[in-house]
Amino acid sequence: AQKITQTQPGMFVQEKEAVTLDCTYDTSDPSYGLFWYKQPSSGEMIFLIYQGSYDQQNATEGRYSLNFQKARKSANLVISASQLGDSAMYFCAMREGRVERDDKIIFGKGTRLHILP
Amino acid sequence: DTGVSQDPRHKITKRGQNVTFRCDPISEHNRLYWYRQTLGQGPEFLTYFQNEAQLEKSRLLSDRFSAERPKGSFSTLEIQRTEQGDSAMYLCASSPDRWTETQYFGPGTRLLVL
């Protein structure tokens, strides 16, 4: 079973509109972290936002916010006032906190976001 | 503060050749990770180091792959007897400690095996 599911392979959004990128996750570990990364065509992975499983409030970073619904195991990324430079691949990812030695990030398959002028 | 750097950025090789990639983490980051990303997929974990100790290896890391971090600073990833299926982007990331929130990624090395 997939640990991270991103159901939207691609999205087209008009510039200046808000956009929500969906992500659901699967874990039995009570301690975990959720990430969103942006990957432009240049290839580097750019960290956007992080949410810890015990965080009471939704994470926000500038125009990015993470809509964390723990009971639904959902961690959607919301980008407000989209810009042309937001066009990129977006990955949802999770790190589980099982044991000290198990320190890897598991990525979803990504959503390609196209911002239209 | 410089970010994670990787060298080379691109590599084209013939099947059967050996290749070696280098990763320089952010200064004083004691954790270093290698991931592989194929076209249309998210990155997949290969291995990670805490200082010079290699703590975990994915089953994706066949015996043709070897990674080292001899002095706990830079790391190398070697692929022996390359196969066409090894063609991918190889990403390196670093983080300062286990409880940090973020792994910072380098620009990647894009490998093409002909």
HSE-up of B56 (CA within 13 Å, CB side)?
16
Most confident of A1-5, A30-34, B83-87: B83-87
| CB contacts, 8 Å: A43 with chain B | 89, 107-108, 110
In this predicted structure, the answer to whether residue A101 has a pLDDT above a threshold of 80 is no
Interface test with B, best of A103, A106, A107 (most B CBs within 10 A): A103
**What does the pLDDT read at residue A104?**
80
Contact between chains at B110 and A104 (C-beta distance less than 8 A)? no
A7 touches chain B (CB under 8 A): no
The DSSP annotation for chain A comes to --SEE---SEEEEETTS-EEE--EE----SSEEEEEEEE-TT---EEEEEEETT-SS--EETTEEEEEETTTTEEEEEESS--GGG-EEEEEEEEE-S-TT---PEE---EEEEEE-
SS (H, E, C) chain B: CCCCEEECCEEEECCCCCEEEEEECCCCCCEEEEEEECCCCCCEEEEEEECCEEEEECCCCCCCEEEECCCCCCEEEEECCCCHHHCEEEEEEEECCCCCCCCEECCCEEEEEC
Shortest CB distance from A105 goes to which of B41, B103, B110? B103
Question: What type of residue sits at position B92?
Answer: C
Residue A62's contacts (CB-CB under 8 Å, 6 or more residues apart) are none
β partners of residue A89: A39, A112
Taking 80 as the threshold, does the pLDDT of residue B104 lie above it?
A: yes
Instruction: Evaluate if residue A28 carries a pLDDT over 90.
Output: no
Longest pairwise C-alpha distance within chain B: 41
Which residue(s) pair with A5 in the sheet? A24
Give the number of A-B residue pairs with CB atoms closer than 8 Å.
59
CB distance B35 to B91 below 8 Å: yes
Per-residue pLDDT, averaged over A35-43, amounts to 93
The average confidence (pLDDT) of chain A is 91
Please state, in angstroms and rounded to a whole number, the distance separating the CA atoms of residues A73 and A18. 22
Q: Of A11 and B72, which is predicted with more confidence?
A: A11
- For B31-42, what is the mean pLDDT? 93
For residue B114, count other CB atoms closer than 10 A to its CB. 10
Share of chain B above pLDDT 90, in %: 70
Say whether pLDDT at A100 is over 60.
Answer: no
